[in-house]
Amino acid sequence: MARELKYADKATQAMLKIAEQEQIPTIWDRYDAMQPQCGFGTLGLCCRHCSMGPCRIDPFGNGPKTGICGATADTIAARHITRMIAAGGAAHSDHGRDVSHTLLMIAENPNSDYSVKSPEKLKAVAEVYGIKTEGKEMRELAGEVARAALNEFGQQTGTVKMAQTAPPARYKLWQQLGIVPRAIDREVVEVMHRTHIGVDADYKNIIKQGLRASLADGWGGSMIGTELSDAIFSMPNPLKTRANLGVMKKDHVNVVVHGHEPTLSDIIAIVSQDQGLLDKAKAVGAKGIQLSGICCTANEIMMRHGIPLAGSYMQQELALMTGVVDMMVVDVQCIWPGLENTAKCFHTKLVTTSPKAKMPGFDHIEFHEDRAVEIAKQIIEEAINNYPNRNSEQINLPNISQGAVAGFTTESVFRFLGGKYRSTYRPLNDAIIAGRIRGLAGVVGCSNPNMEYEEGHLTIVKELLKNDVLIASTGCNSITCAKHGLMTPEAAFKHAGKGLQEVCQAVGIPPVLHMGACLDNSRILRVLTEVVKEGGLGEDISDLPAAGAAPEWMSEKAVCIGFYFVASGVYTVIGRPLPVVGAPALHKYLTEEIEQETGGRWAFEMDPVETAHLMLRHIDRKRKALKLKPMIYPQPFKPEE
């Protein structure tokens, strides 16, 4: 049970000691208990797609080289990874669908608890769909946009319009490759069909559908989710906030939201400051109500309301061990059923809210958008009622948190760089062209007990900063960077090379830009598109000196994200390999040959410094191809080539 996490933040370390003292098992213990994990699964060599199986391929010895139906290792692994894409894309896109429904509800119900907080954004989305905006009432426009967005999920003809916002050269390439997504749901369904026993057995053809499904997410479902969330819940703007377990308050009712969809968390954020509820909290002896978040829903409300982050994916059960969480309210994705066992040791109430995600040992208060405020109030009231049940002897709240600046968007980066009056990426492009900024990196994604916690995220980010790479961050990487002080303007002085430092100082931004939840990786696609559009750095995303990494990935959503970045022309490095290593032709295809087709490719690298160096080498290759000037200031990392 004793476990030393060298790179983890201090609050996590403190809570792990408590877990050990109190003998409360954690995710790391459950991970250890699972060892050794199945080698066939790790290599991608098992198949359960029909009941002639399960089948597994022997990678080394004289055992079977195909499944009972004759499927090879490459077929089996390709089918499996493509189903992962479908599951990840389905999760993100279903979230996008829910946001679209909320917009439709705003249009149809004048008494809705939601409204369009950013009409400019709604208009911008309307333009993508070719909807005229002039002279239209907001609700009328909301209805038209919502219907157009919902149409992208189930249309039987045409293609996903949102994808046309990609650079023209990229869109043309997708047309040539035959991977323009047709409809979001359709691509997921087709993955399921093709990977059924006895359908598609050509690994490249299977992956082709995987790429199309991933694009249906990145440039479809996710992008719709992000864009319409901005329209409904407002466009985030950089703001100051704090991160880590210490943001909870001992003398307040602590409500922690965990999951992903702002339809729930945003309304809770607003309602938590309701005077009636605050009075009720006081009546039970609390000084107020402290809301905080875990995982991506935390990112959503942090960037729009400044609500602090309690922690990342790996801290969800540690939050409960502080003994001050009166309620953890969850919706969908990245929520451990194992929280039940942790909560049992404390007074914490766990509440599920989505009919899609119920969990044993959790109470269920079903959330309905048409009664949002009423239900949010009920949830908070139950948290208040639970406050007196705390056991003061069990309270161990580390007083540790860190300030951060969060809430950058494609648009606000623009505004920052261009000054007050003109939105432009020109200064960013110029800084890259002049050799002040070496390139751009997206560092994103989860943490995973199979890696040293936070080592990958922190090491890669610092190594890139040192070499003048500006970083866009989302998901749990954002939470890690925020907790470790990398999202402050001062971080530039501490960690960035001189060129990047100058840029950050001139415009007053941190060197790691918090761009939101995982869903908001679509913002990174948009930033790259804007950089291409601004000119001087090639015609396509694949021409840019840019790279991506998800060093501690774990979810199927992360697989889907990686694939849509590769399909968009981005070199994408992850830590633990995808489960394709036992399939030699597929492995080679994804990590080498695919670059000839999409301009992007995968790389698997466990060592974080080497990961950063792989990214820098790629960035330098692109700089060279663009014939950019050498870097102004000396760079610590010089590739040998």
> Which residues contact ligand SF4 by CB under 6 A?
47-50, 52-55, 67-69, 71, 76, 197
Q: Which of ligand NFS, ligand SF4, none does residue 68 bind to, with CB < 5 to 8 Å depending on kind? A: ligand SF4
Residues 29 and 18: their CA atoms lie apart, in Å, by 14
**Listed ranges 72-80, 188-196, 276-284, 553-561: which one lies at the site for ligand NFS (CB under 6 A):** 553-561
Q: Tokens 């200031």 sit at which residue? A: 633
By rule CB under 6 A, what string of x and - marks binding of each residue 316-355 to ligand NFS? ------------------x---------------------
* φ, ψ dihedrals at 156, nearest 5°: -95, -15
**Residue closer to ligand NFS (CB basis): 209 or 297:** 297
Q: Rule CB under 6 A: which of 74-133 touch ligand NFS?
A: none
CA dihedral 296, 301, 304, 306 (to 10 degrees): -110
Closest C-alpha among 213, 94, 100, 96 to residue 148: 100
- Pull the structure tokens for residue 382: 């139950």
CA atoms lying within 13 Å on the CB side of residue 412: 22
- Amino acid letter for position 365: I
Q: Which of ligand SF4, ligand NFS, none does residue 445 bind to, with CB < 5 to 8 Å depending on kind? A: ligand NFS
In the three-class reduction of DSSP (H, G, I as helix; E, B as strand; rest coil), residue 538 is classed as coil
**Residue closer to ligand SF4 (CB basis): 49 or 182:** 49
- 476 forms part of the interface with ligand NFS (CB under 6 A): yes
Q: Are 257 and 264 in contact (CB under 8 A)?
A: yes
Q: Which of ligand NFS, ligand SF4, none does residue 313 bind to, with CB < 5 to 8 Å depending on kind? A: ligand NFS
**Residue closer to ligand SF4 (CB basis): 57 or 163:** 57
Q: Which of ligand NFS, ligand SF4, none does residue 359 bind to, with CB < 5 to 8 Å depending on kind? A: none
- Pull the structure tokens for residue 213: 């499904």
Q: Which of ligand SF4, ligand NFS, none does residue 49 bind to, with CB < 5 to 8 Å depending on kind? A: ligand SF4
Closest C-alpha among 534, 334, 358 to residue 431: 534
- 484 forms part of the interface with ligand NFS (CB under 6 A): no
> How many residues bind ligand NFS, per CB under 6 A?
13
- Closest approach, Cβ 333 to ligand NFS, in A, equals 6
Q: Which of 402, 409, 555, 635 binds ligand NFS (CB under 6 A)?
A: 555
Residues 468 and 440: their CA atoms lie apart, in Å, by 9
- 141 forms part of the interface with ligand NFS (CB under 6 A): no
**Residue closer to ligand NFS (CB basis): 179 or 215:** 215
**Residue closer to ligand NFS (CB basis): 330 or 612:** 330
Closest C-alpha among 413, 116, 126, 447 to residue 314: 447
Assign residue 406 a region (left: φ > 0; alpha: ψ between -120 and 50; beta: otherwise). beta
**Residue closer to ligand NFS (CB basis): 221 or 445:** 445
Q: Are 378 and 365 in contact (CB under 8 A)?
A: yes
Q: Are 187 and 209 in contact (CB under 8 A)?
A: yes
DSSP state of 517: S
**Residue closer to ligand SF4 (CB basis): 50 or 284:** 50
- Closest approach, Cβ 74 to ligand SF4, in A, equals 12
Residues forming the site for ligand NFS (CB under 6 A): 295-296, 313, 334, 445-446, 475-476, 517-518, 555, 557-558
